Amino acid sequence: MSIQPLFEPVEDDMRAVDALIRQRLNSDVVLINTLGEYIIASGGKRLRPALVLLAARASGYTGDQHHLLATIIEFIHTATLLHDDVVDESTLRRGRDTANTLWGNDASVLTGDFLYSRAFQMMVELDSFQIMRVLADATNRIAEGEVMQLMHSHDPDLAEKDYLEVVDRKTASLFAAGCRLAAELAGCDAARCDAMATYGRHLGVAFQVIDDSLDYGRGDGDYGKNVGDDLAEGKATLPLIRALSQVETAVGEPIRRALRDGDRDALDDVLKAIESTDAMEYTCRRAEGEADKAVAALDVFDESPFKATLVSLAEFSVQRRY
């Protein structure tokens, strides 16, 4: 299942956003241009900007300010990726060398800072205190999620609720903010703005939970990451949390030790433990439950091709293999 056909209802909007991304990445600092062009060329799903565009149209918006909002969301997201790859010491993203591998940690962090600051410059152009407030709150929650994840690093005793709290802050908060502001641009009432934010939040959780399942071999060859990266980085994600709750102590202790040590060499044992339990099925069920909640939140919106695509995105979030 490919995500790109789902963007057809906003195909023209997506082209406008891609052009705006290139325009606003431009800087008279050569390294920023070089690194920025590399990021653009590396592709990615462009899920977050597409989500903003679809949410705006599903809410009845007919203007073009959602292009700027979608670009802001993508810049914030890309900044977090640059910072994440440095913190996680990642070498591969979307099947290509990470920016920090090619240009070093300093350049990656500072370019991430540039993207954050450029995003806030664009927020000012929208001339809306509400947009500034929602996005300031979202970026703050993302930062809190990053710190929480760092605090839980290499912790085999991480509880599922604490894992989900990190997911909510680090990933779902930006989904929710983009969807809420799309509805706000359309002039929706508070109830429908809340509903669109609810859709985005549950979609974001579903998307991240499945993303974490892909790290243990559920994906296909296009995933673009090294299988076992989360284990090597000491991240206890839902498949591993569930598996550890199901296996006997004698089986679980080597896995706990591997997580504490970030030992990728223990990946085969970890995969066997996951496969011997319902960990992957449980993870997928949790993601499906989040996707169902996302779809239910759309009930207050009129039927349209854009709403239908938002429903399809929820389905895609749990069916994807890359």
pLDDT band at 77 (very low <50, low <70, confident <90, very high): very high
Residue 165 to residues 148, 173, 181, 244, 287, Cα–Cα distance (Å): 9, 11, 22, 19, 14
Give the number of domains in the chain. 1
- Tens of pLDDT along 223-240? 445 678 899 989 999 999
pLDDT band at 52 (very low <50, low <70, confident <90, very high): very high
Which H, E and C letters describe 244-278, residue by residue?
Answer: HHHCCHHHHHHHHHHHHHCCHHHHHHHHHHHHCCC
pLDDT band at 285 (very low <50, low <70, confident <90, very high): very high
Give first-to-last CA distance, the chain, whole Å.
Answer: 9
Q: Is the pLDDT of residue 94 over 80?
A: no
Phi first, then psi, for residue 97 (nearest 5°) are -60, 140
Phi first, then psi, for residue 2 (nearest 5°) are -105, 145
Record the tokens describing residue 133, joined without a space: 């407030």
- Mean pLDDT score of the chain: 91
Q: Is the pLDDT of residue 217 over 90?
A: no
SS3 93: strand
7 versus 97: the higher-pLDDT residue is: 7
Quote the pLDDT of residue 43. 63
DSSP, residue by residue, 101-126 = HHH-HHHHHHHHHHHHHHHHHHHHHT
Task: Give the other-Cβ count within 10 Å of 61's Cβ.
Answer: 21
Indicate which CATH number applies to the domain containing 252.
1.10.600.10
Quote the pLDDT of residue 225. 57
Quote the pLDDT of residue 1. 60
Q: Is the pLDDT of residue 40 over 60?
A: yes
Q: Is residue 230 part of a domain?
A: yes
Q: Is the pLDDT of residue 99 over 90?
A: no
Q: Is residue 202 part of a domain?
A: yes
Quote the pLDDT of residue 39. 82
Q: What is the pTM of this model?
A: 0.93
Q: Is the pLDDT of residue 222 over 80?
A: no
Q: Is residue 97 part of a domain?
A: yes
Which of 23-27, 29-33, 291-295 is predicted most confidently?
291-295
pLDDT over 90 percentage in the chain: 74
- Counting every residue written for the chain, the total comes to 322
Q: How far apart are CA 16 and CA 7, in angstroms?
A: 13
Q: Is residue 133 part of a domain?
A: no
Query: 264: which strand partners?
Result: none
Domain extent, residue 110, equals 4-128+139-319
Q: Is the pLDDT of residue 281 over 90?
A: yes
- Tens of pLDDT along 187-211? 999 999 999 999 999 999 999 999 9
Q: Is the pLDDT of residue 3 over 90?
A: no
Q: Is residue 314 part of a domain?
A: yes
Q: How far apart are CA 183 and CA 190, in angstroms?
A: 9
- Tens of pLDDT along 108-143? 999 999 999 999 999 999 999 999 999 999 999 999
Record the tokens describing residue 233, joined without a space: 């980085």
Quote the pLDDT of residue 218. 59
205 versus 42: the higher-pLDDT residue is: 205
188 φ/ψ sector (left φ>0, alpha ψ -120 to 50, else beta):
beta
Q: Quick one: average pLDDT of 252-256?
A: 90
Quote the pLDDT of residue 59. 98
Q: Is residue 134 part of a domain?
A: no
Q: Quick one: average pLDDT of 241-269?
A: 91
SS3 79: helix
Tokens 């760092």 belong to 150
